[in-house]
Amino acid sequence: MLLPKSFQWGFATAAYQIEGAIDKDGRGPSIWDTFCAIPGKIADGSSGATACDSYNRTADDIALLKSLGATAYRFSISWSRIIPKGGRDDPVNQPGVDHYVRFVDDLLAAGITPFVTLFHWDLPEELHRRYGGLLNRDEFPLDYENYARVMFKALRRVSNWITFNEPLCSAVPGYGSGTFAPGRRSASEPWVVGHSILVAHGRAVKAYRDDFRAASDGGQIGIVLNGDFAYPWDSSDPADREACERRLEFFTAWFADPIYLGDYPASMRRQLGRRLPTFTAEEKALVQGSNDFYGMNHYTSNYVRHRTSPASEDDTEGNVDVLFHNKQGQCIGPETQSPWLRPCPAGFRDFLVWISRRYGYPKIYVTENGTSLKGESDLPREELLNDDFRVRYYAEYIRSMVTAVALDGVKVEGYFAWSLMDNFEWADGYVTRFGVTYVDYENGQQRFPKKSAKSLKPLFDELIAKE
C-alpha cells in the first residue's frame, strides 16, 4: 500500500502563531493583538508579539524544513502586514509584500513547495472597528477579494492557495463563546460570520480562476475545513447514529455542503431556522463549485449521544453530547494536554471516507494533523525531545490515511503535520505545545528538533512510491 510518487508532505504553521515582529515594517494590528491585551483571555497572559520570531528567522525555518526532508510547507500571510488597515481603498504596505515574495523565492530555491493560506484568523483590527469585520456580508467579501488579488499578483510563483483556515473557529469561538478573537458572545452571529466567509471565499476563488490561474502552471485553490469524526455513544441506538451525522453536518458540512452541494445541510436549517442565512442566487453561484481541492484539518474523534430536550438557542453542535467514553465505558483514546483531543487513528480513516463519499471523492490535502502531549511543557528539554507519544500518533494516523487511499479509494495528495515548531497556541498561550521542534522561548526562541520531527521522512520514504 503506497502513496503516489507525486505525494507532497511537510509541516504547517500560521502567521500570528510564529511570526512575532507585530510592529515591524509597517504591520498594522490584528484582532488577535487586541484580544491578547484583554486580561484573562490567554491562559498564561501572553500574546504573539514575539512568538517564535519567525519573521526575522525565515532562513532558519527553511533550513529546519530542509533538514527534516519536507517537500512542502504550509504557512499563512498576515493580512495586516499587506494592507495594515485591511480595506480595498487602504494603502498596500510594500515592505510586507516584499517579505513574503522573498520567503516564497527562498522556499522554492530550497526545493520546498509553498502552500499559502490567505486567512488564518488574524483579521486587521481596523476592519472589525470599521464595519464589524466578518459580520458584514457585503463589505467583508469585497475587502477580502481585494487582499487576495494583491497576494495573487505578488506571489506569481505560488501554485497552491488556501482561502480560509477553519472558518468554524473564526465563527463559533470568535462570535459564539467569545473564547477566540474578537471575543464576542452571541447566539446568532456565528452563522452570519460563516456565511460571510463562504461568500468571501467564493469571490477570491473566482478572481483567481478568472485572472491569475492561467499564468500559474497547474495552480489550484481551496478552503481548509476542520472536523472531528463521530461514533455513536450507543451503536445500537438509531437516534445516536443520526446524532453522529448531525454533529458532522454542524461541524464540517456547514461549510462543505454549500461548496459541493449548493446549500447548508437540512439539519442545520431545521434547528436554526432564520438564524441561518440564505444564499442569494449570486452568492450561490460564487460558492458552489469553488474548491479545486478539499483541505482537511483533523486531530481527534468523539462518541456522540443524542439529546431528548430541544436545542438551546446558543447550541452550535447539533443538540448532541460530545463524549470520550461510549455506553460500554470504552475510551476513544489517551489523554493529551488539550482537553478536546484524544488520539483515535481509526477515526481519521473513517472521516476521510465520510468526506469522500459525501462530496464525490474530491482531491484532498490533509492540511493539519498532530497532537499535544500531557505535561510536555513541564518536562526538562532532554526528556521533552524524546516525544514518543507524538511519534506513535503520526505513525498510526499516517498509516490509517494510507489505508483509506489504498482500500477505500480516497484521493489524498498531500499531508502537513501540525506543527513545524512549538508556537503561540491561541487562547492556550505557550502552555500547550504541538510542535515537532522544541522552541526555547526563554533563550531566544532557539529550535531543537524532537524525535517526532526526525520520524516523518523515514516514514514517508517507506510509504511514497518511488516510480
User: Could you list the active site residues?
Assistant: 166, 368
Strand partners, 116: 75, 161
Q: Are 416 and 356 in contact (CB under 8 A)?
A: no
Quickly count: other Cβ atoms within 10 Å of residue 37's Cβ.
12
End-to-end CA distance of the chain: 14
H-run or E-run covering 136? none
Q: Are 434 and 422 in contact (CB under 8 A)?
A: yes
Looking only at the bridges linking them, the beta strands covering 446-449 and 437-440 are antiparallel
**3-class DSSP state for residue 22?**
coil
> Which residue in this structure is represented by grid cell 488574524?
122
H-run or E-run covering 272? helix 266-272
**3-class DSSP state for residue 238?**
helix
Quickly count: other Cβ atoms within 10 Å of residue 3's Cβ.
22
Strand partners, 73: 11, 114
Strand partners, 230: 302
Reference 252, options 227, 229, 232; nearest CA is: 227
Q: Which three cell numbers stand for residue 212?
A: 491569475
Report phi then psi at 270, rounded to 5: -60, -45
Name the burial class of residue 270, with classes exposed (0-12), middle (13-18) and buried (19+) by CB atoms within 10 angstroms of its CB. Answer: exposed
Q: Is the dihedral of CA 66, 68, 69, 75 positive or negative?
A: negative
Quickly count: other Cβ atoms within 10 Å of residue 68's Cβ.
19
Q: How far is CA 389 from CA 229, 337, 376, 433, in A?
A: 21, 12, 10, 13
Reference 79, options 46, 32, 114, 112; nearest CA is: 32
How distant is the alpha carbon of residue 461 from its chain centre?
26
Helices 388-408, 345-358: inter-axial angle, 10-degree rounding: 30
